[in-house]
Amino acid sequence: MKFVLLIIAVVFAAGCTSQLPTFGLDAISVNKEISIEGDRDVLAIRDKLTIPKSPILTDQSVQFSYVLENKDTAKKAENVRIDLFDAPLMKRKSSDGPLCNFGRDSSGNFAESRSCFPNECKSRDGNACVLSDILPGEQRQVTFDLFSPSQGQIAGLKTDLKMNFKVTYNFEGSTSFTVPVVNLEEITARQRAGDKIKVDVTKSIGSGPIQVDPELFGSSYILGGQSGTFFFVIKNKGKGNLPSSQVPKGGLCVYFPKEFFTENTILVNPDGIECRGPECQKGNAATGEVISKYISDITGTGDKPLVTGYATDARSYRCYSSSSNACLEPYPTLEECQNACSDLDVSCIPADECLQDQGGSGTAVPAATQQKKSDPLFDCMSVSSAPDAGCYEKDKPELSNMVLCYNSRAIELFRDESRVSMRFSIHKISEIKDQPFRSMTVISRIKYPYELRDSFGITVIPAKE
């Protein structure tokens, strides 16, 4: 299923005027198109039933089943886990089977764990049963062999029971957002001719319950050689939830096209930390002066610059001696640093946690100072320097010529929407000289676990003796 909302509009100077560019408003006509593809709830729970049907007699074998259907046409639901977490008074398979809600530990004592797993279980993950991946369009039946409670367990009375279960799966969604970067000279030419440049802004949001919704702040276009600011919001559009209401660390990747980066281009992430140039080498944080002041207050060494560790490499680490509190040799990667720093007294720390004097040696930033530094939500770098983890995979060559920003800690959602700032500003975007405009496509990918909960009610009645 595909929904397309088409909005055709001319950018006027009405509303939020101070946020819009002051140049070219009368010479640009913007056509906006938003495309939302596929289903929000890609995994559906269907056809819940018991055999025999309710009402069920006491001391009777019961088969409880339902069907899982992957409604997506392109992507699989990965690592599907099943958990019958509450089935009161029901037992596993036979009259002397353990209660579903309580298992036994290694000593034979009752423990708060599950005893009833589906027949299709491939393996177990704690209290959950792990199924194989469910492919696009595939249906998978889940079946539990249970046994109803005894007459004594229901005190000889008709009893209504509800079996509660959850289904968790991993999914990957994506969004593309294309905006025009406009030639300033073309705008003046259109103004002189009394004409307008026609440009397109397109947003395509893929399937899945979790959506990444990007917007260009203040305008629908960027001026060549100037700045542009992007905002991203994560939204839960499905019927389930993210476990712990969090997108896990490394779950969100935002890709900016490197072709719009020059040696002077600066990308500023939501924490105010800069990366510079087409390879996105790290620069000083926007709060660097404040950090230096903390260093001066605590150590009296505020005249020593704070080493970012990214002057020559986007991922730099230094050997650190805990006994002497000294930062030793730098290495471009964590693995090289760990191989070189094998002594018990020496470990590896990010180079930006070191103070450096003019000779190149240094001391570690005091713990009190490190606490003053913000824990950055995003890390940005050239894809060539990126770790192979989370939402980024090195085996996707189509993303190799991009600048990547990924979340270095979990992103929390409140009321099904992210509330933290996810603002990325690009300063001094490459100029557009030989054509009226060029389109910039920003891609976001998000990997996450998703949880569905459901239940099925039955009535148990005493068997007549």
Domains parsed from the chain with CATH numbers: 2-39+172-281+377-450 (no CATH), 43-171+451-461 (2.60.40.10), 288-372 (no CATH)
Q: Which residue has the higher pLDDT, 215 or 399?
A: 215
Span 58-66, average pLDDT: 96
User: What per-residue confidence (pLDDT) applies to 396?
Assistant: 67
User: What per-residue confidence (pLDDT) applies to 11?
Assistant: 44
Span 84-93, average pLDDT: 92
pLDDT reading at 177 higher than 90 = yes
- Report residue 139's pLDDT band, with 50, 70 and 90 as the boundaries: very high
Its pTM stands at 0.75
User: What per-residue confidence (pLDDT) applies to 384?
Assistant: 76
Q: Which residue has the higher pLDDT, 96 or 454?
A: 454
Structure tokens at 360: 């190149």
Residue with token string 């998703």:
450
Span 156-166, average pLDDT: 95
User: What per-residue confidence (pLDDT) applies to 372?
Assistant: 36
User: What per-residue confidence (pLDDT) applies to 383?
Assistant: 81
pLDDT reading at 13 higher than 50 = no
Span 103-125, average pLDDT: 74
User: What per-residue confidence (pLDDT) applies to 313?
Assistant: 36
pLDDT reading at 433 higher than 60 = yes
379-427 pLDDT per residue, tens = 888 887 776 656 766 656 677 788 999 998 899 999 999 988 899 999 9
User: What per-residue confidence (pLDDT) applies to 397?
Assistant: 65
User: What per-residue confidence (pLDDT) applies to 95?
Assistant: 87
User: What per-residue confidence (pLDDT) applies to 1?
Assistant: 45
Mean pLDDT of all residues in the chain?
A: 80
Span 23-48, average pLDDT: 90
pLDDT reading at 109 higher than 80 = no
State how far the Cα of 68 lies from the Cα of 47, in Å rounded to an integer: 9
pLDDT reading at 363 higher than 90 = no
User: What per-residue confidence (pLDDT) applies to 454?
Assistant: 97
Span 139-152, average pLDDT: 95
pLDDT reading at 367 higher than 70 = no
User: What are the backbone angles phi and psi of residue 97, rounded to the nearest 5°?
Assistant: -75, 160
Could you give the percent of the chain with pLDDT greater than 70? Answer: 75
Judged by average pLDDT, the poorest of 108-112, 177-181, 301-305, 342-346 is: 301-305
User: What per-residue confidence (pLDDT) applies to 328?
Assistant: 72
Residue with token string 């189509």:
398
285-326 pLDDT per residue, tens = 433 333 333 333 333 443 333 333 323 333 467 777 766 667
One-letter-per-residue 3-state SS of the chain: CEEEEEEEEECCCCCCHHHCCCCCHHHEEEEEEEEEECCCCCEEEEEEEEECCCCEECCCEEEEEEEEEECCCCCCEEEEEEEEEECCCCEECCCCCCECCCEECCCCCEECCCCCCCCCCCEEECCEEECCCECCCCEEEEEEEEECCCCCCCCCCCEEEEEEEEEEEEEEEEEEEEEEEECHHHHHHHHHHCCCEEEEEEEEECCCCEEEEEEECCCCCEECCCCEEEEEEEEECCCCECHHHEECCCCEEEEEEHHHCCCCCEEECCCCEEEECCCCEEEEECCHHHHHHHHHHHHCCCCCCECCCCCCCCCCEEEEECCCCEEEEEECCHHHHHHHCCCCCEEEEEHHHEEECCCCCEEECCHHHHHHCCCCCEEEEEHHHCCCCCCCCCCCHHHCCEEEEEECCCEEEECCEECCCCEEEEECCCCCCCCCEEEEEEEEEEEEEEEEEEEEEEEEECCCC
Asked if residues 446 and 251 have their Cβ atoms less than 8 Å apart, the reply is yes
Amino acid at 191: Q
User: What per-residue confidence (pLDDT) applies to 246?
Assistant: 94
State how far the Cα of 132 lies from the Cα of 76, in Å rounded to an integer: 10
Judged by average pLDDT, the poorest of 122-136, 228-242, 391-405 is: 391-405
38-56 pLDDT per residue, tens = 899 999 999 999 999 999 9
Judged by average pLDDT, the poorest of 65-79, 150-164, 325-339 is: 325-339
- Report residue 71's pLDDT band, with 50, 70 and 90 as the boundaries: very high
